[in-house]
Structure 1
């Protein structure tokens, strides 16, 4: 473990329960029956506790991290590997779902190349490349341990930079053909379950493709036998470069007291790696939605998260995080802008 990673983990503290209670007291004084806004109030109080003060600001950014996966060569995806680079170009051009949704939500969008097979030569892409895609973990580790650590540290440094630039909340997303296979393998190891229970159709595999995906993961785990108690080793064995950077973003955001709005299955797997490295990081997580991918629900349960949305989303890109941002904004607007019984001259009897 690098010094930077160890220092970041040491900086991660628990949410400030006093700030959360103060936010709830403020909400209880608003012109409404107590707790009548339900999870909207819970969300505002959770964000207040993470940020450490009862009136948190709202300046969101969404970071989408892209990389390629050697495991795609095993026929575990319905799409060819070149789609990763093509979609990053689409992000840069502003034409992808995440571009539309982030614009609607008023969120800054940051696109990161953590290891796309074809480097992105043009446009506003942050190059945090760990290589030109991982090795197929069907025959050995996806990456070296040093690469796994370097990816996490790169994510930490980006989170530090965004926090210093005024970002108050961080949504995370990904792009990478083959990355549901890596996420499924990570979930199988870290949750201690068979691959079949956490492996889904990804971008649209048929029955034969799904069976091949499950068997590929089973054989790889039998070959490599990663140690559940060593999350860095598990990440190196079956992870992805974008998953490493995403895990670092979670750790860096938690160290800066930034709420992390997770997207779907892959970001959930990255968060699980981060929490196994630093259990206190779980206190900074908010689940935007629940994906139909079979591995997502058990990851959310392991992280103790109740998602805000359940819309059948399985796109990735941070799309679910972007869709949840207006709910986050509404919760903080109620906390900061709604009149109190006293200020509005409304009787609070019977609340």
Structure 2
């Protein structure tokens, strides 16, 4: 579908008009949870997850039968600053691998019954190097947001968004620093495996970007334009579209979470329909989740990106919903309750 915005101001207005969770469905799910054949709280966070999904699906028996995984790919001009251990050509090569079904995210999507697609965004035209110019024009960032918006299947009942883009941990760190404060060194990590000198270059690039674009960074959407990337903006657009459709979202790692954070900083509450699938091995991811008040479902030392950690968490969510919606109540099972 055509996105209902043609400027960042219009996108901001769309965010402000998003629907909230269904309070009646939440109450009904809480009531049902209290009647299931188990001791109160025996399923721990699984109970909370099921009730949270119920609120977005508007039913006391939520489900996850049509999960969707979308991977967005983009290239970054800031790679010229020596911030990655791999060349930008790898982005194109990995998109080919996704399309051929050979990547980790393909296997995880298949394992948990998710429909997966990959969207490459102008890979032959990297964003500008944000240390010398804004990463994108307004038209470019709006186009990327619209690509993400249009990629969401309205029939999906759970969404995971992932990314591929050599060098994109540096823009993600820049987003985090601009949104939550601190210097580059507070947010950069080793990404695909840079050495100490590469880590210092990443921190320096972030600091240069913050200094250059400082006057604009009080506006979260300008933060995305000046410091982000096409695939980061596309993830944000897809997460926003999911909210408009009341589809719950499982957030992936540091890059996905930094992209999502732009929405939260633009309009508080924009991520209420999102849960953190995992905390990655990228050092600042835990700090970013804490700033957003998101407790991860998994902690497995993953740092691949692609949506892989969030796709794995689909299994946890499916388990939560299967128990909540499929278990009998004490009355149905003829079991004496407490």
TM-score by length of 1: 0.91
Counterpart pick for 2:98 among 84, 91, 95: 91
- Equivalent residue number for residue 80 of structure 1: 87
Residues 302-327 of structure 1, C-alpha deviations (whole Å, 9 max, x = no match): 22110000111110000001110111
- Equivalent residue number for residue 5 of structure 1: 11
For 2:335 and 2:90, locate their aligned partners in 1 and report how far apart those are by CA, in whole Å.
Answer: 58
Does the residue aligned with 2:73 lie in a helix, a strand or coil? strand
- Equivalent residue number for residue 33 of structure 2: 27
For 1:15 and 1:72, locate their aligned partners in 2 and report how far apart those are by CA, in whole Å.
Answer: 40
More off after superposition, 279-288 vs 6-15:
6-15
For 1:343 and 1:232, locate their aligned partners in 2 and report how far apart those are by CA, in whole Å.
Answer: 51
- Structure 1 position 334 matched with structure 2 position 323: yes
Residues 1:341 and 1:158: Cα distance change in structure 2 (over 3 Å):
same
Contact 2:12 2:266 in 1 (8 A): no
Residues 1:103 and 1:190: Cα distance change in structure 2 (over 3 Å):
same
Contact 2:183 2:203 in 1 (8 A): no
Contact 1:115 1:242 in 2 (8 A): no
Aligned length: 331
- Equivalent residue number for residue 144 of structure 1: 137
For 1:208 and 1:11, locate their aligned partners in 2 and report how far apart those are by CA, in whole Å.
Answer: 45
- Structure 1 position 67 matched with structure 2 position 60: no
Please report how far the alpha carbon of residue 234 of structure 1 lies from its aligned counterpart in structure 2 after TM superposition: 1.1
Please report how far the alpha carbon of residue 229 of structure 1 lies from its aligned counterpart in structure 2 after TM superposition: 2.2
For 2:16 and 2:175, locate their aligned partners in 1 and report how far apart those are by CA, in whole Å.
Answer: 24
For 2:21 and 2:182, locate their aligned partners in 1 and report how far apart those are by CA, in whole Å.
Answer: 30
- Equivalent residue number for residue 116 of structure 1: 123
Does the residue aligned with 1:225 lie in a helix, a strand or coil? helix
Please report how far the alpha carbon of residue 260 of structure 1 lies from its aligned counterpart in structure 2 after TM superposition: 1.0
Contact 1:251 1:278 in 2 (8 A): no
Matches within 5 A, 1:51-62: 51-58=57-64, 59-62=66-69
- Equivalent residue number for residue 40 of structure 1: 46
Matches within 5 A, 1:261-340: 261-340=250-329
- Equivalent residue number for residue 231 of structure 1: 220
For 2:212 and 2:218, locate their aligned partners in 1 and report how far apart those are by CA, in whole Å.
Answer: 17
For 1:98 and 1:50, locate their aligned partners in 2 and report how far apart those are by CA, in whole Å.
Answer: 25
Does the residue aligned with 1:312 lie in a helix, a strand or coil? coil
Contact 1:226 1:234 in 2 (8 A): no
Please report how far the alpha carbon of residue 4 of structure 1 lies from its aligned counterpart in structure 2 after TM superposition: 5.5
- Structure 1 position 15 matched with structure 2 position 21: yes
Please report how far the alpha carbon of residue 222 of structure 1 lies from its aligned counterpart in structure 2 after TM superposition: 1.5
Structure 1 stretches lacking a partner, 5+ long = 118-131
Contact 1:5 1:153 in 2 (8 A): no
For 1:99 and 1:181, locate their aligned partners in 2 and report how far apart those are by CA, in whole Å.
Answer: 25
Deviation above 4 Å: which 4+ runs of structure 1?
A: none
For 1:226 and 1:60, locate their aligned partners in 2 and report how far apart those are by CA, in whole Å.
Answer: 40
Residues 1:302 and 1:16: Cα distance change in structure 2 (over 3 Å):
farther
For 1:226 and 1:250, locate their aligned partners in 2 and report how far apart those are by CA, in whole Å.
Answer: 27
Contact 2:63 2:322 in 1 (8 A): no
TM-score by length of 2: 0.94
- Equivalent residue number for residue 4 of structure 2: none
Contact 1:226 1:237 in 2 (8 A): no
- Equivalent residue number for residue 156 of structure 1: 149
For 1:4 and 1:214, locate their aligned partners in 2 and report how far apart those are by CA, in whole Å.
Answer: 33
More off after superposition, 48-57 vs 34-43:
48-57
